[in-house]
Amino acid sequence: MSISRRTFLKISSATSAGLLVTGRSELKGAQEQGGRSDAADERWVPSVCLQCPGGCGILVRVVEGRAVKIEGNPKHPINEGVLCPKGQIGLQILYDPDRIKGPLLRVGARGAGQWKQIGWDEAVQRVVSRLKALRARGEAHTFVFMNGRNRGQMGDLIGRFCSAYGTPNNVGHSSICADGSALAHYLTQGIKSYLGYDWDRTNYLLCFGAGFVEAWRPTTRLLRAYGHMRRGRPIRAKIVQVDTRFSVSAAKADEWIAIRPGTDGALALGIAHVIVKEQLYDEAFVARHTFGFEDWTDAKTGESRLGFKSLVLREYAPEKVSKITGVPVETIVRIAREFAATRPAIAAGERGASMQSNGIYNRMAIHSLNALVGSIDTPGGVIVQRGPSFTAWPDVVQDDLAKVGIKMHRVDSAGTARFPLAGKVYQGLPEAILGEGPYPVKALFAYYTNPLFSTPDVGRFYKAIEKVPFVVSFTPFMDETSEHADLILPDHTYLERWHDDVIYPSLGYPVVGLRQPVVKPLYDTRNSGDLLIQIAKGIGGSVARSFPWTDFVDLLKFRFRGVWEGRRGTIVAPSFAAFWKKLTEDGVWAAPPYRFGEWGEVLKTQTKKFEFYSNALEHKLHDLAKKEVEKAGEKGSEVTEAQALERILVGLKLTARGPKVYLPHYEPFRAPGDPRQFPLLLNTYKLMTHAEGRGANVPWLQEVLGVHTGMKWESWVEINPKTAAELGIADGDPVWVESQVGKLRTRARLYPGAQPDVVNMPFELGHQAYGRWAKGRGVNPNWILVNEYDYLGGTAGFFSTRVKIFKA
């Protein structure tokens, strides 16, 4: 490494350039002022962070009623006392001068920023009367509840609200997050969620398109794991990063494997080919715990079916895979041997692999590697997160209006032949609202989510929201969606409210943190949990009866009673009151250790095995085909099931046919547009400082925005230096990045870690609202991203945009 004096100075060189003498008038400011010792009114309040879904425990130092520092809570097993930069900056969320300070009613045009302050009673009454009127007209299903970072009981509460009210349209944001992974886990393990990983004991991490030390989750847990894997134990784990760019995670890995976008699945299958061919796989695990490895015969039809082994041997030889992925043959063979020999090994993957037009199959292929080396439910392998034993919810009370409404088709077509495995299609709402959906959307709630910023081809949402007659936002901040709302019912920030936080899948054993107010709410804001209960009560009847709690804390206590009754974990108390008191003091309840070998919890597929061949997928597609046959029959036309299935597969843009459809395989990556007109692929990514899309209003994060480029407060596009030279672009030049959707003006950074035909832009900036520190700064790549899908799961293909770049 060449570390010279210049290395340290080039960053801060401007500081010493020139000699400027400034006035000394403020020198008297240097006198001691307001200095204090720690005898004054000072306390540390435990709570839970909300800067990502990680759920880290925090301790907030409160001096004379002001929160002045946030540290990690040593008792919380996710972060054990440490904290990432996003966790450190919470004070600038709490004390953001541009927070919404009370309920607001729009008085001007949509988005014009003209508001009237109203009282809470009036605000609640307006919502209640709108929702009641919709129900009375039998239009409960036209109400859409968009929600994002729910955490803890808020997710269930929102689901419950929708069920009681009578709408199927509870639209969470995971189809633009990382649903591709959850669905791949569902198809192979029968578990529709993210999985945990026993990082501390793994010896080899093969990481596909996940920003392990930048943007994966739970952030602090991963950062801790990284340190532990390197030097926290006698054996140093090897980390191999498969990535389309030289990310910080790639730099911090032992090896970076540069790969063509959207081809991660092919690489995984090439690795599987070598492992199978050289018989390096865990034969005992494969024989005992997997289904569909060998060719097999369908007992019902007597047909012979293709197994995973035959498929990878036949189709994914390293030579062929190398042509698809751009990864050298020797590398594929070597990584395969290392991965199989250095057990326990983990193959992990996230957005770079999962949120592609072929994302679910990519993730199935990657996850299959874990099964091949027996890394499922083993120390140092993949584990399955267990939850706390909350008291079961009482049944939702549904009147006839609710029963009818809930049975309506979802407005986003999730679960239909268009998006068979989808639970929700967040980014598909604009088309649904603008006329493709089965019915108009007449009311929309947005809780902790900002579709007018976060969806690909985001301009569509600006058009769509104009068609919705009643939009309500719950956020503490004036983000883009709030700016286009009719009514804003601002929540507290997370440092002012009661809320629980069940950890993101990670440690395996149950953990739940308690978020509690560290200071009194600064403004006239209200806990959205309280508010939903209040609105339900206002609607009355069966909706009200579904919410027998006085407020959100009452609901939390109801649910936590079950945890107390379990009499296990870090808090065991003689009474619930004592349990609750200790919970407020510790900030967390946990029940370690992880229990290995509970196979019923780990493999929940139809066969109770890891399914290389997914029965669930086969059944789903065949069921949908049967429905199509019935539908056609009703219309008097005759369609066979095979024909209907073929139509569905064509609609899903899948190239595979036959049993291959249900096996991990490589579907060619799709990127619409003409490569001659738009010769570069646009890769987007999240920075450590990104706070999952919510960090742009935080000066502390803005000022350390891109550690690998040194960029602060503004956006950039990373271009390979050779490509830039061909285009006549120099470092720092203003450039246009143009796709078939639109163009953005930003700054070029020549970055050797960009591949010649792929340019990289981070998310985070480019807000049109969201307070003084976010608004009008940088660009948001979502304005030029093509809205491509992995139709199978209704998930966004975030990396399918072709662009050209030219000097501005």
Partner 1 sequence: MPRWGMVIDLDKCTACQSCTVACRVENNVPIAGQRDSSNGRAIFWNEVIPVIEGDGTHLKGRFIPRPCMHCENPPCVQVCPVGATFKDAEGIVRQDYQRCIGCRYCTVACPYGARYFNWRAPEFAESHASYRNPDAPARPRPVGVVEKCTFCVQRIERARRRVAAEGRELRDGDVVPACVQTCPGRARFFGDLDDKHSQVSRLARSPRALRFLEDLGTRPQVIYLMEG
Residues 751-790 that bind partner 1 (CB under 8 A): 752-753, 777
List phi, psi (to 5°) of 132.
Answer: -65, -40
Interacting positions 196-235 with partner 1 (CB under 8 A): 213-214, 219-220, 223-224, 226-228, 230-232
Per CB under 8 A, 105 contacts partner 1: no
Distance, in Å, from the CA atom of 350 to the CA atom of 755, rounded to the nearest integer, reads 20
Per CB under 8 A, 520 contacts partner 1: no
Q: Which two tokens stand for residue 572?
A: 């065991």
134: number of Cβ within 10 Å: 22
Longest dimension (CA), the chain: 92
Q: CB 451 → partner 1: shortest distance, Å?
A: 27
Q: CB 141 → partner 1: shortest distance, Å?
A: 44
Q: CB 797 → partner 1: shortest distance, Å?
A: 25
Q: CB 146 → partner 1: shortest distance, Å?
A: 30
The correct pick among 70, 275, 488, 792 for binding partner 1 (CB under 8 A) is: 70
Q: Which two tokens stand for residue 144?
A: 């859409």
Cβ closest to partner 1, residue 219 vs residue 354: 219
Per CB under 8 A, 248 contacts partner 1: yes
Per CB under 8 A, 41 contacts partner 1: no
Q: CB 491 → partner 1: shortest distance, Å?
A: 19
Window contacting partner 1 (CB under 8 A); options: 95-103, 121-129, 390-398, 462-470: 95-103
> Please, what's the b/e burial string for 155-185 (b: 16 or more CB within 10 A of its CB; e: otherwise)?
bebbbbbbbbbbbbbbbbbbbbbbbbbbbbb
Q: CB 1 → partner 1: shortest distance, Å?
A: 6
Q: Is 459 exposed, middle or buried (0-12, 13-18, 19+ CB in 10 A)?
A: middle
Per CB under 8 A, 396 contacts partner 1: no
CB of 613 closer than 8 Å to CB of 663: yes
Q: Which two tokens stand for residue 31?
A: 């006198």
Q: Count of residues binding partner 1 (CB under 8 A)?
A: 99
Distance, in Å, from the CA atom of 726 to the CA atom of 459, rounded to the nearest integer, reads 32
Query: DSSP assignment of 452-511, as one string?
Result: HHHSSSTHHHHHHHHT-S-EEE--SB--HHHHT-SEE-PPPPTTSS-EEEEPPSSSSS-E
Cβ closest to partner 1, residue 248 vs residue 744: 248
By C-alpha distance, which of 149, 248, 785 is closest to 528? 149
The correct pick among 125, 193, 570, 709 for binding partner 1 (CB under 8 A) is: 709
CB of 210 closer than 8 Å to CB of 252: no
Window contacting partner 1 (CB under 8 A); options: 101-109, 546-554, 617-625, 712-720: 712-720
Window contacting partner 1 (CB under 8 A); options: 27-35, 580-588, 622-630, 670-678: 27-35
Peptide bond preceding 548 in cis form (omega within 30 of 0): no
The correct pick among 154, 171, 184, 258 for binding partner 1 (CB under 8 A) is: 258
Distance, in Å, from the CA atom of 385 to the CA atom of 368, rounded to the nearest integer, reads 19
Cβ closest to partner 1, residue 43 vs residue 712: 712
The correct pick among 699, 725, 726, 745 for binding partner 1 (CB under 8 A) is: 699
Window contacting partner 1 (CB under 8 A); options: 35-43, 293-301, 440-448, 479-487: 35-43
By C-alpha distance, which of 543, 431, 448, 429 is closest to 490? 448
Cβ closest to partner 1, residue 246 vs residue 763: 246
Per CB under 8 A, 64 contacts partner 1: yes
List phi, psi (to 5°) of 797.
Answer: -95, 95
The residue behind tokens 């999985």 is 195
Interacting positions 722-741 with partner 1 (CB under 8 A): none
Per CB under 8 A, 708 contacts partner 1: yes
- In one-letter notation, the amino acid at residue 590 is A
Q: CB 779 → partner 1: shortest distance, Å?
A: 14
The correct pick among 45, 63, 317, 632 for binding partner 1 (CB under 8 A) is: 63
Window contacting partner 1 (CB under 8 A); options: 44-52, 61-69, 642-650, 783-791: 61-69
Regarding beta strands 471-473 and 443-447, do their DSSP bridges make them parallel or antiparallel, or are they unpaired?
parallel
Per CB under 8 A, 16 contacts partner 1: yes
3-state secondary structure of 690: helix
The correct pick among 43, 44, 69, 330 for binding partner 1 (CB under 8 A) is: 69
The correct pick among 45, 105, 251, 656 for binding partner 1 (CB under 8 A) is: 251
Interacting positions 650-689 with partner 1 (CB under 8 A): 688-689
Local structure of residue 200 (DSSP, 8 states)? G
By C-alpha distance, which of 77, 146, 220, 119 is closest to 592? 77
Q: CB 262 → partner 1: shortest distance, Å?
A: 18
What are the start-end ranges of the H helices in 635-675? Answer: 641-651
Window contacting partner 1 (CB under 8 A); options: 71-79, 462-470, 538-546, 550-558: 71-79
